[in-house]
Amino acid sequence: MIEPCGFPFSLKLLRTRALDYGEQAELHHHDSWDAFVAEKVGRLVLLTTKGATNLWDFEFQTGDCLLVGRESAGVPDHVHDAADGRVKIAMPGGGRSLNVAISAGIAIAEAHRQLRG
């Protein structure tokens, strides 16, 4: 989690909403973009409607960090510019975008599929 978030953030609320899976997640909380960048390891892969590469054509690598922005506004330009990869999920029928949680789940599943074993 990188502040400022697009929603009220607390570890207690997150663990409550995560149900049985909250204890399995490794959560990192950063007070700012600069604090995140200082700790970042691996490539930064941004899910964005402005992505140059379709998710299904992107080659994930171990250590990639998947980043999603706010549903309403995405990420600021400086974050977009800092990404090592910018991927999109093609929307058939001309839809603009999927819900951010659904998009993240799809991208995580594809990264896992590619990197399994």
Residue range 55-64, pLDDT digits in tens: 999 999 999 9
Closest by Cα among 33, 34, 61, 54 to 106:
54
Residue 102 and residue 74 share a domain: yes
44 annotated ligand-binding residue: no
Distance of alpha carbon 73 from its chain centroid, rounded? 14
Comparing 85 with 41, which gets the higher pLDDT?
Answer: 85
69 annotated ligand-binding residue: yes
55 annotated ligand-binding residue: no
Residue 47 and residue 102 share a domain: yes
Segment 32-54 shows an average pLDDT of 88
Residue 34 and residue 81 share a domain: no
Residue 39, Cβ density class (10 Å: 0-12 exposed, 13-18 middle, ≥19 buried): exposed
Residue 10 and residue 67 share a domain: no
Residue 32 and residue 49 share a domain: no
Residue 71 and residue 23 share a domain: no
Phi, psi of 114 (to 5 degrees): -70, -35
Residue 45 and residue 24 share a domain: no
- Tally of structural domains, the chain: 2
Q: Which domain does 53 fall in, by range? A: 41-115
Residue 47 and residue 34 share a domain: no
106 annotated ligand-binding residue: no
Q: What is residue 98's predicted lDDT score, i.e. its pLDDT? A: 78
Kindly report the number of other CB atoms within 10 A of residue 58's CB atom. Answer: 20
Q: Is 74:80 a contact under the CB 8 Å cutoff?
A: yes
Residue 35 and residue 4 share a domain: yes
Comparing 30 with 24, which gets the higher pLDDT?
Answer: 30
- Interval 45-95: pLDDT, tens: 999 988 889 999 999 999 999 988 877 777 888 889 999 999 998 877 766
Q: What is the C-alpha separation between 103 and 96, in angstroms, rounded?
A: 12
